[in-house]
Structure 1
Amino acid sequence: MEVSNTKQQHQSASISLTKPVRCIVKLGGAAITCKNELETINEENLKTVSSQLRQSMTTGLNSGEVLGMDWSKQPGESEISSTLSDFEDQPVVDSSPFIVVHGAGSFGHFQASKSGVHKGGLYQPLVKAGFVATRISIASADLSAVAKAIESGLVPVLHGDAVLDDLLDCTILSGDAIISHLAAHLKPEYVVFLTDVLGVYDRPPSDPNAVLLREIAVAKDGSWSIEKPTFQNKNKQVETSVAAHDTTGGMLTKISEAAAIAKLGIDVYIVKAATSHAFKAFSGELKGNLPEDWLGTAIRFSNK
């Protein structure tokens, strides 16, 4: 898939930041929506994730002061502040540069699957009817805009979308692919994928015999292998499943993108959203050896 020209790629490669990116976080669609229910948000998960994200981004705040990503709210308030006087005496919050990418979950995959927009066929009636031309852009992966937002102290919030494609006419540019692109050019300290399960398993997690993979090692050539736990079959492959309405490849795509990022020397963590394990991941507490009580999957480069 080709979605940018050579000139744009050259320009993006030269971008430098005075505030290095600490973390890129993917809010998986399955984690923040009810993936099997059409256009249904998981409000509890989204609220918890937003609160944990804000807490991990800021310094000098207690967990009790964290109300979510809406920083205009004050403790105890239920409405958004709307007058200038509300902000005059508020201190400037010192934040650590984060980038957030969110999935569509049940707000996008059902529709995309029905129309087949991810398979091309732009001129087919159903695809054309469901493809909103005004949204065709690679703004989500515009590194200049992302860099400007970070330098301004903002938190870029990006997402995948339907895009024009040189080979297929149109397809879905996934949030996972955007993260891989951003990581290659902006070099965050680490990347976190939040999901609806604890991490990567050796088989679909619905299987009662499924085993959580704690660490995956990525070699120089981009290939990856299971580091922990140790299996008798050292060449064991991960079995994955994809929901019928998922148009971006499910967990297998996530592992592939994570391996490409880890190959750059950037640690990647796949972990269940709205848990203490997720908070440890995007708070930077997992560098070095993984805590024995941490549940998730770490994907790291290995030069062995």
Structure 2
Amino acid sequence: MEKWQNEYELRKPLRCIVKLGGAAITCKNELEKINQQNLTQASQSGVHKGGLDQSLVKAGFVATRISVTSLNLEIVRALAQEGIPSVGISPFSSGWTTSQRNVASADIATVATAIDSGFVPVLHGDAVLDHSQGCTILSGDVIIRHLAHSLKPEYVVFLTDVFGVYDRPPSDPDAILLREIAVDEDGSWSVINPAPETMSKQVEITVAAHDTTGGMVTKISEAAAIAKLGIDVYIVKAATDHSLKALKGEVERNLPDDWLGTAIRFKRD
């Protein structure tokens, strides 16, 4: 059995795991620039292509690692300013390797120890070594799934730059926010709110060309895998009252009519 598959008995139950989306806490149109307002508010509450020269691959690998490590430090610093003790944990230095973007080895015990010691562990997606490709991007969404599997939080919150999951790109003026998604035992999912019969078109979720981690497609897939464990997942816009309610667990049972976000839950009879 792989190391990440083990379950760790924490001294106290883990209430929540939070994923800070890159688009929510950075300025995507500027190089390595933090969205300080969103990061502060959230704290309060180069993959290679075939044919590229290997020297360019290695240079991109190094540059990516420098960027994400710097971002991780900014998150730890922002939490510290709010009086929240935290510790940065790098996937690479903790022994994370991948095979086709699936985590093969991860030091979940380090994360559990940090939690039991009173720290908030801060992890991040990274450029990591890969058994078949040499190196690749390990998405934070994938890391969250493995953490949820081992640490069993009450719920998981994905903070993004949009209000949740839409039936098509949210830039489309006709896009509809999917407020609740149900996950079956086989991992498949379906929209239950709004009711399917009230929607005139099929869900069309696309991936931006520049997104190396799969964008919303990967996020829903990983969220569904977490929900299948019986752990509710909320995808919601960072630095809003809606995200604050999700973080506080105020939407666990019934979704308020005025709450904007997407709840992904295991289908219960």
TM-score category, normalised to shorter length: 0.7 to 0.9
Aligned equivalents of 2:27, 2:7: Cα separation in 1: 40
For residue 186 of structure 1, report the CA deviation from its aligned partner: 0.6
Change (3 A) 1:233 1:139: farther
**Over aligned residues, Cα RMSD in angstroms?**
2.3
Could you report, residue by residue, the CA deviation over 1:118-146 in whole angstroms, capped at 9, with x for unpaired residues?
x5789712002232399744457421100
Is the 8 Å Cα contact of residues 7 and 151 (structure 2) preserved in structure 1? no
Secondary structure of the corresponding residue to residue 197 of structure 2: coil
Aligned equivalents of 1:288, 1:139: Cα separation in 2: 38
For residue 222 of structure 1, report the CA deviation from its aligned partner: 0.3
Bigger mean CA deviation after superposition, 220-229 or 33-42 = 33-42
- How do 1:9-158 and structure 2 match up within 5 A? 9=4, 13-52=6-45, 112=46, 116-117=47-48, 119=49, 124-132=54-62, 136-139=92-95, 141-158=106-123
Aligned equivalents of 1:207, 1:7: Cα separation in 2: 42
Q: Quick check: 1:218 aligned with 2:183?
A: yes
For residue 287 of structure 1, report the CA deviation from its aligned partner: 1.6
Bigger mean CA deviation after superposition, 227-236 or 162-171 = 227-236
Change (3 A) 1:194 1:121: farther
Q: Percent identity?
A: 68
* Alignment equivalent of 1:197, drawn from 162, 186, 193: 162
Q: Which amino acid aligns with 2:265?
A: R
For the pair shown, the structure with the greater C-alpha radius of gyration is 1
Aligned length: 234
* Alignment equivalent of 1:256, drawn from 221, 224, 244: 221
1:168 — aligned with what?
133
2:239 — aligned with what?
274
Aligned equivalents of 1:232, 1:221: Cα separation in 2: 23
* Alignment equivalent of 1:246, drawn from 203, 211, 215: 211
2:148 — aligned with what?
183
Secondary structure of the corresponding residue to residue 234 of structure 2: strand
For residue 236 of structure 1, report the CA deviation from its aligned partner: 6.1
Aligned equivalents of 2:12, 2:52: Cα separation in 1: 40
Secondary structure of the corresponding residue to residue 20 of structure 1: coil
Q: Quick check: 1:287 aligned with 2:252?
A: yes
For residue 235 of structure 1, report the CA deviation from its aligned partner: 11
Q: Which amino acid aligns with 1:143?
A: I
Secondary structure of the corresponding residue to residue 271 of structure 1: strand
1:86 — aligned with what?
none
Aligned equivalents of 2:203, 2:158: Cα separation in 1: 18
Change (3 A) 1:46 1:14: closer
Secondary structure of the corresponding residue to residue 208 of structure 2: coil
Could you report, residue by residue, the CA deviation over 1:183-239 in whole angstroms, capped at 9, with x for unpaired residues?
011110000000000000001000000000000000010000001001328896422
Is the 8 Å Cα contact of residues 163 and 260 (structure 2) preserved in structure 1? yes
Secondary structure of the corresponding residue to residue 292 of structure 1: coil
Deviation >3 Å, runs of 4+:
119-123, 132-141, 233-237
Is the 8 Å Cα contact of residues 120 and 170 (structure 1) preserved in structure 2? no
Bigger mean CA deviation after superposition, 198-207 or 136-145 = 136-145
Could you report, residue by residue, the CA deviation over 1:240-265 in whole angstroms, capped at 9, with x for unpaired residues?
23333211011111000000000000
Q: Which amino acid aligns with 1:31?
A: A
Aligned equivalents of 2:253, 2:2: Cα separation in 1: 38
Aligned equivalents of 1:236, 1:176: Cα separation in 2: 28
Bigger proportion of residues as strand: 2
Secondary structure of the corresponding residue to residue 232 of structure 1: helix
Secondary structure of the corresponding residue to residue 17 of structure 2: strand
1:96 — aligned with what?
none
Q: Which amino acid aligns with 2:55?
A: P
